[in-house]
């Protein structure tokens, strides 16, 4: 007898293992953040190194003796891979867009070599996907890198996408702590980014309005139609601008920009 609606226990087990791994990573990095604060580290870079190395464990005696093993002891810090190795890893182990923060971090570090590539990748993912990937919190240090990349490469056509990205990131857990830990350069980039967003919003109100070209009696009717279209267009543009202004004002507060 054929069973219907059977439960895929293997899929459930994979989801459970992924959730457990994500939770362990979150707890480990969170503990490292508070440990670094208690130690009163001297610089932001030192704080960052402590968090990035939170997955490392001290070597035991048995690890130092015996047969030499070719093991990658620090996968997060090791970036000196040749291009061929990176492409092979992507071809063999990467399928589609990242689904977890660990996948994103690995792809961001190993496969995206330029700011333009990283900017296009963020816009391709969009705010909703980023919100899903970083449902626990944004991996340490990434928020600042996002802000720098967005500020350097934003263009007018991507304004709405960038706003959505900023809004989604602001809703992640421990977002306020990540903002407090931004370096001065990253804070300056954040301020520059919002300045560009506001400037783009001020110059996109009246584009594409129709103009009358007919003569005689038909010109008057055509002009009335154009006027009605202008009023409708301006009304819609005004409402959209009001919504954008309100969103940017809220985001300025979230990102600590006065």
What is the residue extent of each domain of the chain?
Answer: 20-48+89-207+223-254
* pLDDT reported for residue 65: 53
For the chain, the 3-state helix, strand and coil shares in percent, each to the nearest 5, are 70, 0, 30
8 A C-beta contact, residue 136 and residue 101: yes
The first and second tokens of residue 184, run together, are 């001065």
Query: What whole-number distance in Å separates Cα of residue 258 and Cα of residue 187?
Result: 11
**CA dihedral angle for residue 77, residue 30, residue 47, residue 169, rounded to 10 degrees:** 80
Q: Is 104 helix (H, G, I), strand (E, B) or coil?
A: helix
Band of pLDDT at residue 211, cut at 50, 70 and 90: very low
Number of H helices, E strands in the chain: 11, 0
The first and second tokens of residue 135, run together, are 């449902």
* pLDDT reported for residue 100: 86
What digits encode the pLDDT tens for the residues 30-71?
Answer: 887 877 787 776 677 777 777 777 766 655 555 555 555 454
What digits encode the pLDDT tens for the residues 96-138?
Answer: 678 888 889 889 988 898 999 999 999 999 999 999 999 888 8
Q: Does residue 152 surpass a pLDDT of 70?
A: yes
Q: Does residue 17 surpass a pLDDT of 90?
A: no
Question: pTM of the prediction?
Answer: 0.54
């Amino acid at each position: 007898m054929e069973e219907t609606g059977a439960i895929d226990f293997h899929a459930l087990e994979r989801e459970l293992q992924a959730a457990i791994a994500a939770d362990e990573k979150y707890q480990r990095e969170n503990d490292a953040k508070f440990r670094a604060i208690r130690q009163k580290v001297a610089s932001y870079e030192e704080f960052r190194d402590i968090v990035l190395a939170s997955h490392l464990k001290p070597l035991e005696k048995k690890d130092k003796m015996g047969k030499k093993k070719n093991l990658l002891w620090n996968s997060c810090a090791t970036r000196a891979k040749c291009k061929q190795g990176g492409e092979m890893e992507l071809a063999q182990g990467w399928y589609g867009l990242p689904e977890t923060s660990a996948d994103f971090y690995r792809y961001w570090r190993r496969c995206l070599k330029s700011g333009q590539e990283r900017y296009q990748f963020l816009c391709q993912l969009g705010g909703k996907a980023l919100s899903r990937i970083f449902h626990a919190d944004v991996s340490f240090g990434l928020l600042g890198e996002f802000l720098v990349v967005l500020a350097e490469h934003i263009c007018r056509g991507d304004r709405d996408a960038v706003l959505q990205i900023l809004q989604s990131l602001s809703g992640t857990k421990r977002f306020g702590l990540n903002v407090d830990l931004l370096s001065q350069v990253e804070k300056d980039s954040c301020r520059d980014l919002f300045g560009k967003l506001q400037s783009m919003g001020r110059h996109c109100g009246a584009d594409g309005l129709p103009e009358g070209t007919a003569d005689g009696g038909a010109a008057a009717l055509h002009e009335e139609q154009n006027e009605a279209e202008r009023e409708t267009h301006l009304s819609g543009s005004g409402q959209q601008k009001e919504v954008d202004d309100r969103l940017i004002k809220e985001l300025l507060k979230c990102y600590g920009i006065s």
